[in-house]
Chains A and B, each alone.
Chain A
Amino acid sequence: LAKTTQPISMDSYEGQEVNITCSHNNIATNDYITWYQQFPSQGPRFIIQGYKTKVTNEVASLFIPADRKSSTLSLPRVSLSDTAVYYCLVGSFYNQGGKLIFGQGTELSVKP
Chain B
Amino acid sequence: DVKVTQSSRYLVKRTGEKVFLECVQDMDHENMFWYRQDPGLGLRLIYFSYDVKMKEKGDIPEGYSVSREKKERFSLILESASTNQTSMYLCASSGTNNEQYFGPGTRLTVT
Residues on A close to B: CB < 8 A? 32, 34, 36, 41-46, 49, 87, 92-93, 96-98, 100-105
Contacts and interface: CB of A to CB of B under 8 A. Distances in A.
B14 interface: no
19 contacts: A32-B98, A36-B100, A41-B104, A42-B104, A43-B92, A44-B43, A44-B90, A44-B100, A46-B100, A49-B97, A87-B43, A93-B31, A93-B56, A98-B56, A98-B57, A98-B58, A98-B59, A100-B33, A102-B43
A102 B104 contact: no
A10 to B, nearest CB: 16
Range of interface residues on B (Cβ < 8 Å): 20 to 34
A71 B80 CA distance: 40
B44 interface: yes
A93 B42 contact: no
A8 B76 CA distance: 30
Given A43-B90, A93-B98, A100-B33, 5 more contacts: A45-B102, A93-B50, A100-B58, A102-B45, A104-B42
A42 B107 CA distance: 11
A45 B2 CA distance: 11
